[in-house]
Amino acid sequence: MSFLLKLTPYFFLIPAFVILGIFFFVPFFQTIYLSFFDYSKDIYNPQFAAWANYVYLLKNPLFIKTILNTFYFLVLCVPFLVIFPLFLAILLNTKIRFKTFYKLIIYLPVVVSIVVVAIAFKWLYAPEGLLNYFLELIHFHPIGWLSDPRFAMFSVALVTIFKGVGYYMMIYLAALMSVPKDLYEAAEIDGTDSWAKHINVTLPHIMPTLALVTTISSISALKVFVEIYVMTHGGPLDSTKTIVYYIYERAFENLDLGIASAAAVVLLLVVMIFSMVNIFVFERKKYGL
């Protein structure tokens, strides 16, 4: 009996670990394993390639470009996603009227599928679409939002921003609720005016959350895919080809499993660095570390 009792915890863990084993741990090690094989000549008869796939990637201008594109995309959306939702949260963390209504509307794009959001933006970005009309209203020339390599990545980032603002705003709102109210009162007695108050009182309290939003929005930026798949397919001229798109193309279109896996390992390493900072520095409490 006591032997069986000792097994109880493992019994509870079995279902989760069967799933994680099949769909996480095995694929994880298989990704690393595959990255050392050459599938390009014969997909049914892969050859051990040692580091050749990695060497190929480092010398491949397209892969280097996708890495740079990915970081360009990150730089386009992360700063905005860190600052603007905080600004909205500060506005909403007061006794303002229609608060719930505002929150609901701003959060709405978060729950709508990214595919629909991307289709809606594609329509706004059309050459004779609404956005070019607005540009003309303020006496600018219409631009090729998705067809001009200079603007395409910016246009994609705008979609990601649109979809993300509400999500990060809610994270900030939760954090703002925990800022002690008496700190504000003290600031008010000192005669600090309202935005100065936020810089002096709110910001130090919100710093950990700000850092958290920076890492999680960076991680999702590194993984961007659907917006690009729906709107540009990586084009024009590879200007919106990001690392996940490259992996997708190599794996499922070219069936070049070795190269795709090596690129996946690169993605893995980059994302893991951000995740580790996140887990071991900003979210220790959540994970009970």
Partner 1 sequence: MIKNFFRGSFAHLTLIIVCVLSLLPFLWLFSTALKGAGENIFQYPPQLLPSDPTLSNFKEVLRLVPIIGYVINSFIVAAFTVVLNLLFSAMAAYPLARMEFFGKKTVFFAVLSTIMVPFQAIMLPIYIITLKLNLIDSAGLVQGYLGLILPFAVNAFGIFLLRQAFLAIPKELEESAVIDGCNSWQIFTKILLPMIKPSLAVLAIFTFIGSWGEFLWPSIVLTNEKLFTLPVGINNLQGAFSANYRLIAAGSIISIVPIVVFFLSLQKYFISGQNEGAVKG
> What is the DSSP secondary structure assignment for residue 141, as one 8-state letter?
-
> Strand pairing partners for 38?
47
Interaction of residue 199 with partner 1, rule CB under 8 A: no
Interaction of residue 17 with partner 1, rule CB under 8 A: yes
Interaction of residue 13 with partner 1, rule CB under 8 A: yes
d(CA 74, CA 170): 21
For residue 113, give the amino acid letter.
S
DSSP for 147-184 reads TSTTTHHHHHHHHHHHHHHHHHHHHHHHHHHTS-HHHH
Interaction of residue 133 with partner 1, rule CB under 8 A: yes
Interaction of residue 287 with partner 1, rule CB under 8 A: yes
Interaction of residue 174 with partner 1, rule CB under 8 A: yes
Interaction of residue 45 with partner 1, rule CB under 8 A: no
Interaction of residue 91 with partner 1, rule CB under 8 A: yes
Whole-number minimum distance, CB 30 to partner 1, in Å? 4
Whole-number minimum distance, CB 76 to partner 1, in Å? 18
d(CA 275, CA 219): 7
Q: Which of 3, 12, 44, 48 binds partner 1 (CB under 8 A)?
A: 12
Three-class secondary structure of residue 143 per DSSP: coil
Whole-number minimum distance, CB 183 to partner 1, in Å? 19
Distance of CA 88 to the CA centre of its chain: 20
Interaction of residue 196 with partner 1, rule CB under 8 A: no
d(CA 122, CA 131): 10
Whole-number minimum distance, CB 82 to partner 1, in Å? 14
- Using CB under 8 A as the binding criterion, the count of chain residues that bind partner 1 stands at 95
d(CA 256, CA 79): 35
Q: Which of residues 223-262 bind partner 1 (CB under 8 A)?
A: 223, 225-226, 229-230, 244, 247-248, 251-252, 257, 260-261
Per-residue x/- track, 207-226, partner 1 (CB under 8 A): -----x---x--xx-xx-xx
Interaction of residue 104 with partner 1, rule CB under 8 A: yes
Contacts of 135 (CB under 8 A, 6+ apart): 141, 142, 143
